């Protein structure tokens, strides 16, 4: 309790430095949060594109609808498959006329084959899995004439997702490192401003734990407040993008947002522990 009281007193006694620390931590995490928001939206957009991936299995014209329905049921049970749509010859014609109205006159009844449109589940949309599922369908059903899945397009999309993932992880790590360094320096500044007090504490017999505790509490609180500030700023930017630039953006879910604040608190705590530990070893 005394440690909490001392931490509160320290925050109250130097409001400017405390505000500066919280703002610095907030803006460091804000930069990281902005990057996270961009990464989240890129990932979300790529997921949306990937969700449109489909394998289309065209069947022979003479295939009875019962056989097709049975096949759709079987394919639906594949663990890689999210959804199967059965498209009859009539529906295929209607879709072709809708998608390519300039060729409406060219399409005749029964010119297009019936098909099964197979959508893969998230996590199974990589080129290798798509090819494996396509091969399995091609080889398992003799009445399947052709299987198409836009191999090149899926490969390119997968590459793009990989690049985005690696770039995201690298930049994220860089942003996090910079944030930790800045936060560490901010906390160190706060500790140096009280170096005299610490040296007197040691001279009159305070233990390292006694000296360290309020700094840890202070670091935790500043980190948490900085994290909350960063979250608020990131949310503000997202709202501005939605309102003024009409961007369709997604924001962190509650769990991720809470994790951001907790991460801020953890960085504050660890930064304080490292800084005060280093300082205590010197005095």
Compute the least distance from the CB of residue 14 to another protein, in Å.
Answer: 10
Q: Which residues, numbered 171-210, are part of the site for another protein (CB under 8 A)? A: 196-197, 199-208, 210
Compute the least distance from the CB of residue 185 to another protein, in Å.
Answer: 24
* Cβ neighbours around 76 below 10 Å, total: 13
Please say which residue, 43 or 202, places its beta carbon nearer to another protein.
Answer: 202
Please say which residue, 124 or 210, places its beta carbon nearer to another protein.
Answer: 210
For 233-246, give the DSSP string.
HHHHHHHHHHHHS-
Q: Which residues, numbered 9-68, are part of the site for another protein (CB under 8 A)? A: 13
Compute the least distance from the CB of residue 269 to another protein, in Å.
Answer: 22
Please say which residue, 177 or 207, places its beta carbon nearer to another protein.
Answer: 207
Answer for the pair 22, 222: CB distance below 8 angstroms, yes or no.
yes
For 182-201, give the DSSP string.
HHHHHHHHHHHTTHHHHHHH
Backbone angles phi, psi at 54, to 5 degrees: -150, 155
Q: Is 2 in the site for another protein (CB under 8 A)?
A: yes
Please say which residue, 43 or 213, places its beta carbon nearer to another protein.
Answer: 213
Distances (CA, A) of 145 to 72, 113, 127, 137, 152: 15, 9, 21, 10, 21
Q: Is 273 in the site for another protein (CB under 8 A)?
A: no
Compute the least distance from the CB of residue 221 to another protein, in Å.
Answer: 21
Please say which residue, 92 or 198, places its beta carbon nearer to another protein.
Answer: 198
Compute the least distance from the CB of residue 6 to another protein, in Å.
Answer: 8
Alpha helix segments (H runs only) across the chain: 2-13, 15-51, 65-76, 89-99, 127-140, 151-192, 195-203, 208-244, 254-282
Question: At 256, is the secondary structure helix, strand, or coil?
Answer: helix
- CA atoms of 150 and 53, how far apart (whole Å): 8
Compute the least distance from the CB of residue 25 to another protein, in Å.
Answer: 25
Where on the chain is the footprint of another protein (CB under 8 A)? 2, 13, 196-197, 199-208, 210
């Amino acid at each position: 309790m005394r440690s909490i009281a001392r931490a509160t007193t320290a925050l109250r006694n130097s409001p400017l430095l405390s505000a500066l620390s919280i703002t610095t931590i907030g803006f460091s995490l804000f930069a990281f949060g902005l990057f996270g928001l961009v990464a989240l939206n890129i990932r979300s957009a790529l997921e949306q594109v990937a969700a449109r991936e489909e394998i289309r299995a065209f069947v022979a014209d003479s295939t009875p609808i019962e056989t097709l329905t049975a096949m759709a049921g079987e394919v639906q049970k594949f663990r890689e498959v999210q959804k199967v749509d059965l498209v009859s010859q009539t529906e295929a014609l209607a879709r072709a006329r809708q998608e390519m109205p300039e060729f409406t006159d060219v399409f005749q009844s029964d010119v297009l084959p019936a098909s099964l449109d197979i959508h893969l589940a998230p996590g199974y949309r990589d080129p290798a899995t798509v090819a494996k599922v396509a091969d399995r369908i091609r080889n398992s059903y003799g009445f399947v004439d052709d299987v198409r899945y836009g191999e090149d397009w899926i490969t390119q999309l997968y590459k793009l997702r990989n690049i985005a993932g690696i770039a995201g992880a690298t930049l994220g790590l860089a942003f996090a490192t910079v944030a930790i360094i800045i936060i560490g320096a901010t906390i160190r500044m706060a500790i140096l401003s009280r170096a005299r007090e610490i040296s007197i504490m040691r001279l009159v017999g305070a233990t390292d734990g006694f000296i360290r505790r309020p700094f840890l509490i202070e670091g935790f609180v500043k980190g948490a407040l900085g994290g909350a500030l960063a979250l608020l700023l990131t949310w503000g930017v997202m709202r501005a993008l939605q309102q003024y630039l009409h961007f369709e953006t997604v924001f962190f879910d509650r769990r991720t947002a809470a994790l951001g604040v907790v991460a801020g608190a953890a960085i504050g705590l660890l930064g304080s522990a490292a800084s005060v530990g280093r300082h205590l070893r010197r005095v």
